[in-house]
Amino acid sequence: MAGRPAALNKRLIQELHKTRQEDNPALTYLAPPDDSDLHHWRAGLRGTPDSPYEGGVWDIDIIIPDNYPLAPPTIKFITKICHPNINIKTGEICLDLLKSEWSAAYTISSTMTAIQTLLTSPEPNSPLNVDAAALLNDGDTMGYESLVRYYVWRYARKETDL
């Protein structure tokens, strides 16, 4: 934590405390994996209920920049996931909130809720996974949902195992 802005560290500590006090239904956990670095967090993101993602939990990597909250964190999926707006190889997420629509009013927890919402609100016209987007653009919802369920079964941790 040395060399990092004190005000930022204070905000991050406040966010951690608030996260521990208030249950976020989108998350199974949200915390730094190592207490010595407040700028690197991990999260367990739950699949959206009543969707093909239901029952899955994905590990997420979060890097918080020194100019947070003025700049967004860098967030990516560690666990493989099938979604038009998530790169299947790198875990990169295409979400305006993480780029041009970022606001200092967002917290890490609220950002994770927005990412969970993205799971059931794909934007196939700006894909990072062209195969998943093509299924949706072709109107093959059944094929898309089957592919998503396969990835949930194959790669995601199961909520029932937590």
Could you tell me the CA-to-CA distances from 14 to 24, 108, 152, 156 in Å, in that order?
Answer: 15, 11, 33, 30
Could you tell me the CA-to-CA distances from 147 to 56, 141, 154 in Å, in that order?
Answer: 14, 10, 10
Sign of the dihedral defined by the CA atoms of residues 115, 154, 92, 137, in that order:
negative
Quick count: other Cβ atoms within 10 Å of Cβ 154?
9
Give me the catalytic one of 64, 86, 94, 128. 94
Judge whether 82 counts as a catalytic residue: no
Cite the active site residues: 94
